[in-house]
Amino acid sequence: MGFLDNVQDGLSRGVASTGRATKSLQLKGQINALDKKREALMGQLGASLYQETRSEPHFRSTREALYLEVEDIDSRKEVLHQELEELEREGQMSLQGKQTLVCPSCGKGLAATDAFCTGCGTSMVDIRKTLNLCAACGTPLTPDSKFCMGCGAALGA
């Protein structure tokens, strides 16, 4: 029976070891989840403290480099936001340039960015006055349009 006892003892130790390993992984997972939650809370706390203390010399005195770095990042983000807005404006202008209008005087096709009709010379200002165009973006509208297909603006009353 010595052999079977040794096998049974080995199995018992293996099961116990597996149980400890499983429990260890569970505990490490819980610790990791708590660390992530704590990190998020510390980020929120830090952001709120920054807002409250950024103009207080007493708080800035020993942390000036951190405050300056945050301000630098905010400035750089603002520049990037402005560049993004400019790209979006350029994209809108590009779309408007591709929109085609039909001159009501001669029937010639025009780009929305043209200054005058190349067929009859009518100014775009006069053409726009006679056409039904979206006030927000200049997209031509059909008489029964409820929304602009160019920008999505609601039309009518």
- What pLDDT is recorded for position 97? 54
12-31 in b/e burial notation, b at 16+ Cβ within 10 A?
eeeeeeeeeeeeeeeeeeee
Closest CA to 117 of 130, 132, 106: 106
pTM above 0.75, yes or no: no
- Percent of the chain at pLDDT > 70 equals 94
* Residue 128 contacts residue 111 (beta carbons within 8 Å): no
15 vs 113: CA distance, rounded Å: 78
State the CB neighbour count (10 A cutoff) for residue 124.
19
Q: How crowded is the C-beta side of 129, counted as CA atoms within 13 Å?
A: 7
Q: Please give the pLDDT value at position 98.
A: 58
In this predicted model, what pLDDT tens digit does every residue of 81-111 receive, in sequence order?
Answer: 999 988 888 777 666 555 677 888 888 888 8
**Ranges of each domain in the chain:** 95-157
pLDDT at 33 over 60: yes
Q: How confident is the model at residue 1 (pLDDT cuts 50, 70, 90)?
A: low
Look-up of token digits 């990037």: 80
